[in-house]
């Protein structure tokens, strides 16, 4: 095949969504008498997390969302963080609360996520919101898989009756992604690190979503010609000269000539995740 896959440009779509949200906020703020508020809680000094938090706060500023972020030292205790969440749950200026993962090992992330008021769960990871997704009820949706769905919709990808394969089963991406694809009438297979002959399963996919966190896991021979490939992976790799760059879970160079559409890394799903976070915050604000 001499043709090359169309790029699914998450960055351009996310910029457009931010503009729409900014216009909504300007109108709503007149009635509400305050801007929407998002609180991102970060613990420790993970450089990748710090970069993500800066991105989120910059995006908030663009849209007109007030940031109530808090940065805790790596030694912060479970009780301190639970106290911070309880205070934010009661704070009427705050519509969304998010705990930046990963957390230091001594903290219980699940217990903290469960403390967040479900209507303020900007990441869509509270059991109540995941339960609504399972039941197909409206609610706050997990940002990364929701961003994938929004991107596919923007490029008019019809999922009805398509074979979708999700590689990865995390509660952050894999499981909610599979549920959202089912909701869109795709036939869904979930594969993961323990799946024998991953290539054979991946090759059945009309739509392949990869969220494992392993560079170049998916190579050309694992992709059906004409498939739509969504790469959720974000891996920092260092080349021979010591220069670091971001790559996905898909070997982009070998897969691009075979696929019909493919997301770049960076510039694909990353910006969409942030856009969905902002959308969830504005949705909570609107509900109030």
Task: Map 173-185 to HEC letters.
Answer: CHHHHHHHHHHCC
The answer to whether the beta carbons of residues 80 and 88 sit under 8 Å apart is no
pTM: 0.95
pLDDT value, residue 109: 96
Tokens for 53, please give them: 């938090």
H-assigned helices in the chain: 10-32, 47-63, 78-90, 109-115, 127-135, 143-154, 174-183, 198-202, 252-255, 269-287
Q: 261 — alpha (psi -120 to 50), left (phi > 0) or beta?
A: beta
pLDDT value, residue 1: 45
211, 270, 272 from 10: Cα distances, Å: 16, 8, 6
169 is in an annotated binding site: yes
pLDDT value, residue 3: 78
Please measure the distance between the N-terminal and C-terminal CA atoms of the chain and give it in whole angstroms. 53
The Cβ of residue 48 has, within 10 Å, a number of other Cβ atoms equal to: 12
170 is in an annotated binding site: yes
If you average pLDDT over every residue of the chain, what do you get?
A: 96
**Has residue 11 got a pLDDT over 90?**
yes
**Has residue 202 got a pLDDT over 60?**
yes
For a pLDDT cut of 70, what percent of the chain falls above it? Answer: 99
pLDDT value, residue 207: 98
**Has residue 2 got a pLDDT over 70?**
no
Domains of the chain and CATH, by start? 33-119 (3.40.50.10860), 142-269 (3.40.50.720)
Could you list the active site residues?
Answer: 56, 100, 123
Does the CA dihedral 108-98-284-132 come out positive or negative? negative
């Amino acid at each position: 095949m001499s043709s090359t896959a169309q790029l699914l440009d998450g960055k351009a779509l996310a910029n457009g969504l931010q503009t729409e949200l900014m216009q909504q906020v300007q109108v709503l703020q007149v009635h509400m008498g305050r801007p929407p508020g998002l609180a991102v809680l970060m613990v420790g000094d993970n450089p990748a997390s710090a970069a993500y938090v800066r991105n989120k706060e910059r995006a908030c500023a663009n849209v007109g969302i007030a940031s109530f972020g808090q940065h805790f030292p790596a030694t912060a205790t479970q009780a301190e963080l639970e106290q911070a969440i309880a205070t934010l749950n009661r704070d009427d200026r705050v519509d969304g609360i998010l705990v930046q993962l990963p957390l230091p090992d001594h903290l219980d992330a699940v217990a903290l996520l469960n403390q967040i008021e479900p209507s303020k769960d900007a990441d869509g990871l509270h059991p109540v919101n995941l339960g609504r997704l399972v039941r197909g009820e409206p609610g706050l949706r997990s940002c990364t898989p929701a961003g994938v769905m929004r991107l596919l919709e923007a490029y008019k990808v019809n999922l009805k009756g398509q074979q979708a394969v999700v590689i990865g089963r995390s509660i952050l991406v894999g499981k909610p992604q599979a549920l959202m694809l089912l909701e869109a009438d795709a036939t869904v297979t979930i594969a993961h690190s323990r799946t024998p002959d991953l290539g054979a399963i991946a090759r059945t996919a009309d739509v392949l979503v990869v969220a494992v966190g392993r560079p170049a896991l998916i190579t050309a021979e694992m992709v059906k010609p004409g498939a739509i490939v969504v790469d959720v992976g974000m891996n920092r790799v260092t080349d021979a000269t010591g220069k670091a760059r971001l790559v996905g879970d898909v070997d982009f160079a070998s897969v691009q000539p075979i696929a019909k559409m493919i997301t770049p890394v960076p510039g694909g799903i990353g910006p969409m995740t942030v856009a969905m976070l902002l959308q969830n915050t504005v949705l909570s604000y609107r509900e109030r």
